[in-house]
Amino acid sequence: MEATGGPVEGAFDPRCEGRAQPIDLAVCGAAPTLAPALRPLHTKHDGGAYGNTQYNADGTDDDCKYRVQFTTTPVRRAAGVTFTVSLTAATSGKPVAGADPFIEAYLDGEIAGLAEQVTEENAPGQYTIGPVTFDRPGTWTVRFHFFGACEATGNALAPVGHAAFYLRVP
């Protein structure tokens, strides 16, 4: 049987303990959902614009606004992987609906093939995203983007957030 990968286990990142930040969905106005072709994908990871990449499949976003948990279908090279993501507000623990999340995945600074990626919200705060195809083995950085279409990114209450995790692909 072919080996499967998954989240890389390690220490929990405690940076958001006691620092939950509120969000206000109203600051975005009526921001449209971004079609996959219009999402701001990069060809190379810029390295410094986001929070630390985390271990495991449970953590927080870069601004301590959300708890992010995920599961995956079997992780294999050159096979489409689907992510199931749970997003809850750090201040209340309640599901966060309407986040329109998408993924960017990097290995050695190069982005994975993500053109076919589709996001569905199955229940408030519960999303499936995929498929994501990993073309090489290694330890990838998988970054989830939330509320990427929000026009109020300079506002501290804006719901825009990002959470990155290590994922091993055999």
User: Is the preceding omega at residue 95 within 30 degrees of 0, hence cis?
Assistant: no
pTM here? 0.88
Was domain 6-29+52-169 assigned CATH 3.40.50.620? no
Kindly write down the DSSP assignment for every residue of 67-78, as one continuous string: EEEEEES-B-TT
pLDDT in tens, 94-114: 999 999 999 999 998 777 766
Q: What are 55's two structure tokens?
A: 């271990």
Q: Mean pLDDT, consecutive 10-residue segments, the chain of 170 residues?
A: 89 91 84 48 49 94 96 94 97 95 89 79 96 93 91 81 96
Q: Give me the residue spans of the domains in the chain.
A: 6-29+52-169
Contact of 162 with 66, CB cutoff 8 Å: no
